[in-house]
Amino acid sequence: MMKLITWEMDRTHAPADPAERMKLAMSHCEMVKKGIESGQTKMWGINPGGNHGFSVTDADENEIFAMIAQYIPHVKFKVESMLDIDEVIASLKAAQEQA
């Protein structure tokens, strides 16, 4: 089952020094890129304002926790399970058979 992860930057924990902020941002970007290259992150996006975005993964809950824990306290997350179309069709067919 895939998971939709929505996230928002927590600017209260951002370094005051612009060079340190850039270093932190690049570190986060490198971690995201690593997740995409490994296949753990299927899709990732950020809004043009740079303060919130999303990712999609089919990792299990333990893997997701380990993945997002790296970004705390700089990023706040919400994780939701999502069904793909084949899962929806299978569920609907099962419900029809029970009716």
pTM here is 0.87
Strand partners, 80: 4
Residues facing 25 on adjacent strands: none
Q: What pLDDT, on the 0 to 100 scale, is given for residue 86? A: 95
Q: What pLDDT is stored for residue 99 in this prediction?
A: 76
Contact predicate 24/10, CB 8 Å: no
Q: How far is CA 10 from CA 7, 15, 78, in A?
A: 10, 11, 13
Report mean pLDDT in 10-residue bins for the chain, 99 residues: 96 94 96 96 96 97 96 96 95 92
